[in-house]
A and B are shown apart, each in its own frame.
Chain A
Amino acid sequence: MFVNPWAILIGVLAAGLPLAVHFLTRPRPVRMPLSTIKFVHEAVLHRRTRHRLRDAVVLAMRCLAVLLVALAVARPFLGQAGLSTVDDQADLVRVVVLDVSQSLAATSHGIEAFERARSLAAGQLEYRRGMKADLILAGARPASIFKRASSNFQVLRDELSKARVKPEKSAVQEALNLASEIIAREDDSKGLRREVVIVSDFQRSNWAAADFSVLPEGTRIELQSVAPAETPPNLAILRVAAQGRAEVGRDLRLEVEVANYSESPQTVTVEVLLGGASVQLSGLCGPNLKTVLTGELPLHETGWQTGEARLLGVSDALAADNVRACVFDVRPAPRLALVTRESAAKRPSASYFIERAVAPVPGASGDGAGPEAAGEVPSSATGGLLRLDPAKLDREAVGSADLVIVVQPGRLAEDSINQLVGVVRRGRGILYVASDAADAVNLRQIAAATSGILKFPVEFAPPAARQPRRNLFLAEMQKDQPPFQIFGDELPALVETLRFSGGLDSRRLEGALAEDILGQYSDRSVFLASATLNAGGFVVLNADLTASNLPMSPLYVPLLGEIVQKLLGQGRRAGEIPCGEPFALSLPPDAAAAAELTIAGPARGDGSPVDGEAAVGDLADDGAGVMWKGDAAGRPGAYRVMHKNSPIFAVAAAIPAEESDLRTIPAKVFEERLAGGREVHFRSLSGLGADERDTVWSWLAVACVVCLVGELAALKGFKT
């Protein structure tokens, strides 16, 4: 069993080199008549035996040295032959499942786990009379070489030699199902023996839910693990994202999640390159923990920016996960529209509190001047906020807004309802501050206008007259989700003093997602709920701001800011798809027709696209816009949809985070819990002392040196 069996062939050929050199470099003899040839002959006869012995010893030493070097390069594993039972001559069908997921690229003692796996798999695909076999390469989409088991071992071995690690996770159950199908196709009338040999590192994250019961009864299952005895330390970048919306002229707040899969804390440094800017983030990551590094990166250009995050100064088992591509849609400063009937001059009012929270620029908005003073609510701008009258909604103004905030709109007309729904359909966001009965009706009508596609988790209703809503406080919040996430451990203290009155009652709808309810009052009514439609977002803030102390709380402005950022980032969030997995992405509603768009794959270092990988997936028009679909995401990197040489959309393909966790499942778990009633034999290189055996190559190298020293000693000895 060799890690690099090809080295044997090269070694055998190279072993002839000393002989060839010896014979080719022999000096051309000079012809000379000699009277004393008798003495020469005697001397030669005397010396020839000695010299021939010397030449033979020296050449043997040299050839042996070359062979030993080749053997050392081939990296033999002793005692690996015969892991699988080949003890009788019965007909046998064997399916070898070879894990080609990214984790197999992890190295231990300088050897890639996949090379060990390939070697083990090759050993299972040796010809044997009466045996048929098939090979399944288990990536994200497991595929077998043949539809049925075949005796064409040459093709299987050729395919095995061509197999490479893929930057994707292994679909374990699909591979088992496929193996089951292949075995089931074989006729067992002759007492056929069935074997499934799985060669993998048996990562905990991939194999914990494996179910071997899908394999036919009587199938002998052999698990051959190539994972080292000790889980090799590994650092990985699991996620690169931005907090909020990426806006030009404003620093992008980056979040990089780093995992430390080792037993010791590590100080990690991540360099993020985006466009022409870069930033280094550092932090301490505890053992077997994940940490989020944050930092700010200035953005100077709008449009889709692609880049990557890279761990610096790291030499770990799996190098591929030390880099992660990222894409961000850098937008201009957002345009906000405030739809309200309230006068800008009315203070305090809900719209005033909202206005101050989202556009805290004082002045402007024509305080006390013009029509507002007369109680009318015309369209006006305050900083980046455009105040609109719900009774006379300007279609163009609403259409151009990145976020629409609806506060005290009164009963909305059908046209206004449709305009708001259109906003969400185009991937924009709406923040609806609901406080009175008209809002409940409006929300119901908005949901109805989407034909039920926009599903709120709750149904809002006016509070019952006998049960006024007073002195409510926040009881439950999703602390690890925006907008509450940023408050961290201080959240309880911040919300403790909040008291609410007014607002709407809510009734939870059947089939509603709990994740859409972000916060609840003490009476179980909803404080904050979200819903999505296409790429757009809809958040309902159920609170009468004028009847609560929320606007006076230090929590208020950041809370509103987080909600606004969440909605502004809706549909424009940095996208990421796992490599090897199928994907379907909706392009922005303003994208051109699919025929005018092209897909560009990850670029090389010089920026040119990689041949054959430039296009991944297909673009197709559908009713809601352009869909980008693909059976399998390509290799890691940024993929862009181009329109006239400028990107209109981008997504980053990344290695699934599970692949970075190299911890494995113990043999006992397979044999006792996951076997599903099947006969499972677990064999591990580490269990057999692979590390010790893996040192064979070093002994071979020592033997090589001994040969060279022996050659020198032979030369010296014979000369003496």
Chain B
Amino acid sequence: MPATSNNRFVEMHALTALEHMRFTTRHRIEGTYTGRHASRQLGGAGEFVDYRDYTPGADLRRLDWKVLARTGKAYVRLFQDETNLLCTLAIDASGSMQFGADPPGAKKSKLEYVQYLACALAHVINRGQDQVGLAILADELVACIPPGGTASHVTFIQETIEQLTPRPTVHMAGALRQLFEQSRQRGVLLLMSDFLVDDLDDVFATVRLFRHRKSEVVVIHVIDPDEERLPAGAAYRFTGMENEGVVHCSPDEIRDLYAERFSAHAAAVRTLALSNGCDYRRVSTAIPYLQTLGGFLVERSG
């Protein structure tokens, strides 16, 4: 991994502070290579974890003969394999993720924030000898890079992230289903989105498919603080970022109702995520992404 990068979303100097941290998972996973994560395979090459009664057909190589000799009872020794992590970063590239970039340069849009966060995550995951992949979600699966662990693979992923452009879309379930169909391995799916889609239930129905596959799904709900409350002012002409049209209104008249609706939306996303066994994390773009990432990694590491 080079010490510097031309990618504007990769701040190598800042990421050095996170190099000692690893992205971990509390679930047993399936990996391609041996790694530091508990594998779903209980083979014989790993660390001894437990006994279980012998059943006919069990591998006799794992039978604990000494115990059988002493007690007359047949037990099979179980060993935990350790494997590497296959992590897929799924980024929502819908138009709504562009919010926050007006006026340009004033602050990061949600998409830019996610781009920074995803590049940093890819770097951290790669530093942990794990494999990282990328999926760009819009109305359809825009890009899908299978997990890989080489430095060039990570650089490619980061370049892909850098070149990401938002698309006006209001449905994400289809793209997520495509991703599900294309990926065959059990790993970790980091779904980064604002979830401002019309098919929220379908999205989480698809998420459930990942969960059925025993993949771990981490839902990162990106929220811009300016979305939580309407701006002050007598009258606004709001234009949709995904071709939803124009709405004239006086924010004062709907401020409370809007906040109520938005809170309900955020709560719905959280409820859906948690009820589907996902790890939910609400991320505000007002907090620096490195701080967000640090906290996330610490929390994950337990």
Contacts and interface: CB of A to CB of B under 8 A. Distances in A.
A43 B261 contact: yes
Given A29-B237, A33-B102, A35-B224, A41 B244 contact: yes
A32 B238 contact: yes
Contacts of B235: 26-30
Interface stretch (A44-52, A150-158, A387-395): A44-52
Nearest to A719: B253
Interface in B245-270: 245, 247-250, 253-254, 257-258, 261-262, 265
A35 B197 CA distance: 10
Tell me which of A27, A29, A35, A43 has the highest count of chain B C-beta atoms within 10 A of its own C-beta: A35
A42 interface: yes
A24 interface: no
A374 interface: no
Given A29-B248, A34-B99, A38-B244, A43 B237 contact: no
B247 A36 contact: no
A709 to B, nearest CB: 23
Interface in A1-50: 26-44, 46-47
B99 A37 contact: no
B248 A34 contact: no
A44 B250 CA distance: 9
Contacts of B230: 40
B134 interface: no
B196 A27 contact: no
A41 B239 CA distance: 10
Contacts of A29: 235-237, 248
A719 to B, nearest CB: 10
B249 A40 contact: yes
Contacts, number: 92
Given A44-B254, A47-B254, A47-B257, A37 B244 contact: yes
B227 interface: yes
Interface residues of B, number: 36
A36 B249 contact: no
B241 A33 contact: yes
Contact of B241 (A27, A34, A46, A51): A34
Contact of A30 (B98, B227, B237, B242): B237
B209 to A, nearest CB: 26
Contacts of A27: 233-235, 250
B155 interface: no
A34 B229 CA distance: 11
Contact of B247 (A30, A41, A46): A41
Contact of B238 (A28, A40, A46, A47): A40
A39 B236 contact: no
Contacts of A42: 261
A39 B263 CA distance: 10
A32 B227 contact: no
A28 B234 CA distance: 8
B96 interface: yes
A41 B13 CA distance: 44
A29 B239 CA distance: 12
A568 to B, nearest CB: 86
Contact of A36 (B95, B237, B262): B262
Given A27-B234, A34-B238, A51 B253 contact: yes
Nearest to B99: A35
B96 A35 contact: yes
A36 B249 CA distance: 14
Tell me which of A26, A27, A37 has the highest count of chain B C-beta atoms within 10 A of its own C-beta: A37
A34 B254 contact: no
Contacts of A28: 235
A548 to B, nearest CB: 106
Contacts of B216: none
Given A31-B236, A33-B239, A43-B249, 16 more contacts: A26-B235, A27-B235, A28-B235, A29-B237, A31-B239, A33-B102, A34-B238, A34-B239, A35-B110, A36-B96, A36-B227, A37-B240, A37-B245, A39-B261, A41-B245, A44-B247
Interface of A: 26-44, 46-47, 51
Interface of B: 95-99, 102, 110, 194, 196, 224, 227, 230-231, 233-242, 244-245, 247-250, 253-254, 257-258, 261-262, 265
20 contacts: A27-B233, A29-B237, A30-B237, A31-B236, A31-B237, A33-B239, A33-B240, A35-B96, A35-B97, A35-B98, A35-B99, A35-B227, A37-B240, A38-B196, A39-B265, A41-B244, A41-B247, A43-B257, A44-B247, A47-B253
